[in-house]
């Protein structure tokens, strides 16, 4: 793909760092012959002993039953370099009782640099950790993740097979393995851990009633263990997992021959009580309006070993922490926020598909919902029906109804075929989407993913239909791989039960990558270089075979250094075509000698050319600190005025752990557009966020979050051509108004006391306050605009 680029003299300087990165990567590292060839070895099968025994879970593996457990050793490195023997040895002990499976881990640390904090659940990403993978259906598609840090703090979720990615990375979010972890689901299990002179020791018991598994009398489960060592940045696996494979789970082992698993009655009842008080300024002063306490609840019933029914009435779906403010690079794309609400998280992995045609946050304020999830005879099933409150409807007096169905069928060893149907009804209006998709894994290195969908929407008595299509091919080679993708979304396609970041476009992308590995002990452990060829078209423009609206060429380098350091650099060569849909109400006020002479419709420059450099760096997890930096600098489009601008985007993260109980996390997002002729700011947004948590016990913590959002947009002008002022037309009044500078300085503070001994049993008491001031970061003239108190009580009754 040939890309027209205007190379300006100052911008040429940006090319040097990326070229240097490629030279260093190819010169310092030489290919080594560690890549395996031929067929995969047969999976390691482990037959577990079964004991009718109860033990005290204390993190000390000293009970007699542990001496009779099966013993697993021989861990090897997976990331950043696969196929190498682990520096630190790991011993895993396993046995099972009628009601639970038990794991004991002795993790040896020859450097005496164990990273461990008394963290909240799912917050152990900066700690050393053990992750136990249980593929209970032995289908090599997804597995339960049962994770613990050295102190026994839990982190759990779902691991799904997924293709690796190459390209730009933010900080230490570098090249990842062929899987994706979703920490949203929570499972009830028990764990304890302790530090030892040789490293650490953890003990884990997972009740069978907390898992879904096959209905056979004899159970064979896919199995593996991942150990993350923070001081080195290494990821170790029990089986010899190689990067040259499209499936991570297919390279695991198996726990075979388990019999007489007694799951018992699986019936969880979680009543919950919530109440809140909201404050706002009134004429007579500050006033609070109390919301009457609300009683709701959820029920979870394990119909069979592999099928679960969830129901809820008047549930509490309030958030206990505000969403993190996100920097928006392109105003044509919607911002995605993850699901956090407990009822939706159970079984959420079964709703996954190539495009987010099911996005449960579209259900805003349900009065009731029911959900059926599980796997029957090789078919995954997920069904959700919900009724939303009247206030969410178009007319304000009808309930919105959602019916969301997702099924997928296993084919062969790692392939699958799926379908989805969504139905949203709002009075006489509706939106329905039907889709089919599949993932085919072949020749061990290749994965082909596809999806086709059609939407049917009725609004105002008019019915429209439109298609969506998606195709992706990945090659998971150790030294050479690529990602190729095509995606098309018709302008009339609507997924009102899902999330589409930007509709009406077609994108095509090809990303070849090369990875070279250093010798054992070298400073530079691996280097990945990739080239991104990307084009974005208006949907009809692609169908007509025209040149892309937005062609892009990215040169990317990623370095993994010994000790857990990561570096990255990218050169972005791009071109953006004028998007008239963003400027339909824009006009130009023509002036001559300071006198207004005419008002004409705004038509921007047909095409803007960009040249940017991206730099990233990530530190290892030191004893008390870790951090990352992501920077974009160069000449890019200024969407405020549709003109060239010098941009500066910064994302800075810093995590400080002064003790094993205190955590201080800092995040800073910076987005700045500078006019190149006079160095004035067309727009600048700065968002620092500070979170401080103190963990009194594994179940009890106190948290304080402060987030400041300073946003400035200057008076707009036709900067790329006439430099005349821009006007905004108001269709309601038929008038034109000059743009004026906009300043918004908002400060949000949230405090929370949380007690959560197990998932489902919680006590939350929180306070949140929103404030505003005329001048940014002064903190002297802050005025409250809203605040409120929140309390929640819930208790998990488990039969």
Residues 194 and 158 in one domain: yes
- Under a CB-based contact definition with an 8 Å cutoff, are residues 134 and 144 in contact? yes
Is 589 part of a structural domain of the chain?
no
Residues 248 and 369 in one domain: no
Helix or strand (DSSP H, E) at 344: helix 342-345
Sign of CA dihedral 84, 89, 91, 92: negative
Which tokens in the block code for residue 471?
């195709």
Give mean pLDDT, residues 235-262. 94
Residues 241 and 320 in one domain: no
Separation CA 461–CA 512 (nearest Å)? 48
pLDDT in tens, 548-559: 999 999 999 999
Which tokens in the block code for residue 330?
């392109």
Is 242 part of a structural domain of the chain?
yes
Secondary structure (3-state) at 389: coil
Is the predicted pLDDT of residue 330 greater than 70, yes or no? Answer: yes
- Interacting residues of 141 by C-beta distance below 8 A, sequence separation 6+: 135, 160, 161, 249, 410, 414, 416
pLDDT in tens, 669-689: 999 999 999 999 999 999 999
Give mean pLDDT, residues 101-124. 92
pLDDT score, position 38: 34
pLDDT score, position 5: 35
**What is the phi-psi region of residue 398: left when phi exceeds 0, alpha when psi lies from -120 to 50, beta otherwise?**
beta
Separation CA 489–CA 454 (nearest Å)? 10
Residues 97 and 196 in one domain: yes
pLDDT score, position 27: 43
Residues 348 and 497 in one domain: yes
Is 450 part of a structural domain of the chain?
yes
Is 457 part of a structural domain of the chain?
yes
pLDDT score, position 16: 44
Residues 280 and 324 in one domain: no
pLDDT score, position 13: 41
pLDDT in tens, 6-35: 333 333 444 444 444 444 444 444 433 333
- Poorest-pLDDT segment among 184-198, 319-333, 455-469, 531-545: 319-333
Which tokens in the block code for residue 333?
């794309």
Q: What 8-state DSSP symbol labels residue 717? A: B
Give mean pLDDT, residues 571-583. 96
β-pairing, 797-798 with 267-282? antiparallel
pLDDT score, position 412: 87
Is 577 part of a structural domain of the chain?
no
Q: What 8-state DSSP symbol labels residue 697? A: S
Position 165 confidence tier, pLDDT thresholds 50, 70, 90? low
Give mean pLDDT, residues 106-132. 92
Give mean pLDDT, residues 431-451. 95
Residues 169 and 102 in one domain: yes
Residues 329 and 297 in one domain: no
Is the predicted pLDDT of residue 175 greater than 80, yes or no? Answer: no
Phi and psi at 365, nearest 5°, equal: -140, 70
pLDDT score, position 319: 53
CATH code, domain carrying 248: 2.60.40.1190
Average pLDDT, the chain: 89
| Structural domains counted in the chain | 3
pLDDT score, position 183: 87
Is the predicted pLDDT of residue 318 greater than 60, yes or no? Answer: no
Task: Give the Cβ contact number of residue 583 at 10 Å.
Answer: 18
Is the predicted pLDDT of residue 205 greater than 70, yes or no? Answer: yes
Task: Give the Cβ contact number of residue 439 at 10 Å.
Answer: 24
- Poorest-pLDDT segment among 170-184, 217-231, 446-460: 170-184
pLDDT score, position 39: 42
Decide which of 483, 503, 523 is a domain's last residue. Answer: 503
- Poorest-pLDDT segment among 394-398, 444-448, 602-606: 394-398
Residues 470 and 368 in one domain: yes
Residues 68 and 188 in one domain: yes
Decide which of 479, 503, 527 is a domain's last residue. Answer: 503
Separation CA 797–CA 189 (nearest Å)? 15
Residues 293 and 337 in one domain: no
Proportion of the chain above pLDDT 90, given as a percent: 74
- Under a CB-based contact definition with an 8 Å cutoff, are residues 99 and 53 in contact? no
pLDDT score, position 536: 98
Phi and psi at 525, nearest 5°, equal: -85, -40
Give mean pLDDT, residues 171-183. 62
Is 773 part of a structural domain of the chain?
no
Is 682 part of a structural domain of the chain?
no
Is 131 part of a structural domain of the chain?
yes
Range of the domain at 786: 273-304+760-764+779-799
Is the predicted pLDDT of residue 781 greater than 60, yes or no? Answer: yes
577 - beta bridge partners?
A: 607
Q: What 8-state DSSP symbol labels residue 325? A: P
Residues 294 and 312 in one domain: no
- Under a CB-based contact definition with an 8 Å cutoff, are residues 280 and 786 in contact? yes
pLDDT in tens, 283-298: 888 888 877 788 999 9
pLDDT score, position 455: 98
Decide which of 474, 503, 532 is a domain's last residue. Answer: 503
Is the predicted pLDDT of residue 168 greater than 60, yes or no? Answer: no
């Amino acid at each position: 793909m040939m890309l027209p680029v205007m190379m300006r003299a100052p911008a040429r300087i940006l090319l040097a760092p990326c070229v240097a990165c490629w030279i260093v990567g190819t010169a310092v590292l030489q290919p080594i012959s560690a890549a395996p060839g031929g067929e995969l070895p047969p999976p390691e099968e482990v037959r577990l002993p079964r004991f009718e025994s109860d033990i005290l879970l204390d993190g000390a593996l000293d009970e007699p039953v542990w001496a009779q457990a099966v013993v697993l050793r021989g861990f090897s490195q997976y990331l950043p370099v696969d196929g190498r023997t682990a520096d630190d040895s790991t011993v895993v002990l396993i046995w099972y009782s009628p009601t639970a499976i038990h794991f004991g881990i002795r993790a040896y640390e020859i450097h005496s640099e164990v990273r461990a904090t008394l963290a909240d659940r799912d917050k152990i990403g900066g700690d050393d950790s053990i992750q136990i993978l249980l593929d209970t259906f032995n289908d090599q598609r997804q597995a339960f993740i049962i994770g613990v840090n050295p102190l026994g703090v839990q982190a759990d979720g779902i691991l799904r097979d997924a293709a690796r990615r190459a390209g730009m990375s933010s900080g230490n979010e570098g090249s990842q393995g062929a899987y994706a972890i979703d920490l949203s689901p929570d499972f009830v299990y028990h764990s304890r851990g302790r530090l030892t002179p040789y490293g650490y020791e953890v003990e884990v018991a997972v009740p069978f009633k907390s898992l879904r598994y096959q209905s056979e009398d004899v159970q064979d489960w896919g199995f593996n263990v991942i150990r993350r060592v923070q001081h080195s940045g290494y990821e170790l696996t029990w089986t010899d997992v190689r990067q040259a494979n499209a499936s991570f789970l297919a390279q695991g082992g198996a726990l075979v021959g388990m019999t007489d698993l007694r799951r018992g009655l699986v019936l969880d009842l979680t009543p919950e009580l919530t109440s809140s008080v909201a404050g706002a300024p009134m004429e007579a002063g500050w006033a609070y309006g109390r919301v009457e306490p609300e009683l709701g609840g959820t029920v979870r019933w394990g119909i069979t070993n592999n099928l679960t029914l969830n129901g809820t009435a008047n549930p509490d779906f309030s958030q206990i922490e505000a969403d993190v403010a996100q920097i928006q690079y392109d105003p044509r794309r919607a911002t995605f926020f993850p699901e956090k609400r407990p009822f939706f998280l159970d079984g959420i992995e079964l709703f996954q598909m190539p495009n987010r045609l099911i996005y449960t946050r579209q259900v805003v304020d349900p009065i009731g919902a029911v959900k059926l999830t599980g796997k029957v005879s090789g078919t995954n099933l997920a069904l959700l029906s919900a009724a939303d409150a009247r206030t969410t409807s178009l007319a304000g007096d009808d309930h919105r109804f959602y019916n969301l169905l997702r099924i997928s069928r296993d084919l062969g060893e790692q392939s699958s075929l799926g379908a989805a149907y969504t139905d949203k009804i709002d009075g006489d209006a509706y939106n329905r989407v039907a889709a089919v998709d599949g993932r085919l894994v072949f020749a061990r290195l290749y994965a082909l993913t596809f999806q086709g969908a059609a939407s049917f929407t009725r609004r105002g008595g008019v019915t429209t239909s439109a298609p969506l299509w998606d195709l992706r091919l990945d090659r998971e080679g150790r030294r050479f791989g690529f990602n190729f993708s095509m995606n098309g979304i018709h302008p009339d396609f609507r997924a009102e039960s899902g999330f589409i970041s930007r509709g009406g476009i077609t994108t095509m992308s090809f990303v070849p990558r090369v990875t070279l590995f250093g010798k054992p002990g070298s400073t530079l452990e691996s280097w990945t270089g990739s080239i991104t060829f990307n084009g974005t078209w208006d949907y009809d423009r692609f169908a007509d075979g025209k040149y892309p609206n937005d062609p892009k060429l990215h040169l990317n380098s990623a370095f993994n250094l010994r000790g857990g350091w990561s570096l990255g650099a990218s050169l972005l060569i791009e071109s953006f075509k004028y998007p008239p849909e963003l400027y339909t109400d824009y006009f130009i006020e023509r002036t001559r000698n300071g006198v207004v002479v005419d008002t004409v419709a705004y038509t921007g420059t047909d095409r803007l050319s960009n040249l940017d450099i991206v730099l990233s760096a990530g530190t290892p997890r030191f004893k008390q600190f870790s951090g990352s930096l992501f920077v974009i600098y160069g000449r890019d489009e200024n969407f405020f005025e549709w003109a060239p601008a010098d941009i500066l985007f910064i994302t800075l993260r810093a995590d400080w752990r002064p003790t094993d109980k205190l955590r201080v996390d800092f995040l800073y997002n910076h987005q700045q557009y500078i006019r190149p002729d006079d160095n004035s700011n067309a727009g600048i947004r700065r968002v620092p966020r500070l979170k401080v948590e103190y963990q009194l016990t594994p179940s009890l913590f106190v948290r304080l979050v402060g987030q400041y959002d300073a946003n400035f947009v200057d008076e707009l002008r036709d900067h790329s051509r006439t430099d005349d002022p821009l006007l905004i037309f108001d269709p309601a009044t038929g008038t034109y108004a000059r743009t004026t500078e906009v300043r918004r300085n908002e400060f949000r503070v949230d405090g929370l006391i949380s007690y959560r001994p197990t998932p489902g049993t919680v006590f939350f008491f929180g306070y949140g306050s929103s404030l505003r001031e005329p001048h940014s970061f002064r903190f002297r003239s802050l005025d409250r605009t809203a605040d409120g108190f929140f309390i929640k009580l819930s208790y998990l009754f488990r039969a």
